[in-house]
Amino acid sequence: MLVLENVDAHYGKSHVLHGVSIEVREGEVVGLLGRNGVGKTTTLKAIMGLVRRTGGRIAFEGRDLGGVAPHGLAGLGIAWVPEERRIFRLLTVLENLRTGLDRPGTTPVRRERLLEKIYRYFPILRERRHQAGGTLSGGEQQMLAIARAMVLEPKIILLDEPTEGLMPRMVAQIQEIVHVLHRDGVAILLVEQNVPLTLDAAGRVYIMEKGAVRHHASAADLRADPRVIHEYLGV
């Protein structure tokens, strides 16, 4: 469904992605592992059109994303939860959700139901719905960022380090949400440094190093032979 073929990317003059090829099929959870700074986030940004692609091809459901305007990606079914979360700090929780809820092609009834569903998964957001996004704790902001993506009813979510800086209890909650999304048939490209969580959630995993994909295996194989993980991530 989402295909990156030999993608090269540049930040100004520096060559940050080298021939990256990744595939995510419908409903799959795919992990993207690697140390800090190897290009995992950059890969997601390349999909979102935020980094200049200088080679290769990115296609979603057969359609080349190169010609799509940045604001058209949500309509195609691609949602993004960035590493820094990027909550609209001055908007309330509800308003944050509305940026995605109020899109063409939805009826008020459907929106209500979607909102209710979100509140059921994230009760804390219902409680805080009139609070400004910037006043939420780190964990709550992460919930909101994911909820905001879910509100787009996407086919795939690009999840960038959702557990970074979170307490173990929250990490477990994130894990639960990833399961739920998977069960609902949403594909996920999960960028993470938390190896156990990734191996648990994902079916297949790519490992990156220095801007390129170095290894590709099923999560099961990686669980069975921890030496590979150790070699690339030192854990």
Q: Which residues bind other proteins (CB under 8 A)?
A: 48, 50, 69-75, 79-80, 82, 86, 88-91, 95, 98-100, 102-103, 148, 152
To other proteins, the closest distance from the beta carbon of 103 in angstroms equals 5
Taking the CA atoms of residue 77, residue 82, residue 87 and residue 88 in that order, the dihedral angle to the nearest 10 degrees is: -70
Find the radius of gyration of the CA atoms of the chain: 17
To other proteins, the closest distance from the beta carbon of 196 in angstroms equals 29
| 116/54 Cα distance (integer angstroms) | 42
Nearest residue (CB) to other proteins, 98 versus 214 = 98
Return the structure tokens found at 207.
Answer: 């490992």
To other proteins, the closest distance from the beta carbon of 221 in angstroms equals 33
To other proteins, the closest distance from the beta carbon of 151 in angstroms equals 9
To other proteins, the closest distance from the beta carbon of 61 in angstroms equals 17
Helices 108-121 and 138-150, axial angle in degrees (round to 10) = 150
Sheet with 187-192: strands ordered across: 78-81, 156-160, 187-192, 29-33, 204-209, 212-218
Pair type for strands 212-218 and 204-209: antiparallel
Phi and psi of 81, rounded to 5°?
A: -115, 100
Nearest residue (CB) to other proteins, 67 versus 168 = 67
| 38/13 Cα distance (integer angstroms) | 17
Nearest residue (CB) to other proteins, 33 versus 46 = 46
Nearest residue (CB) to other proteins, 64 versus 102 = 102
Nearest residue (CB) to other proteins, 128 versus 148 = 148
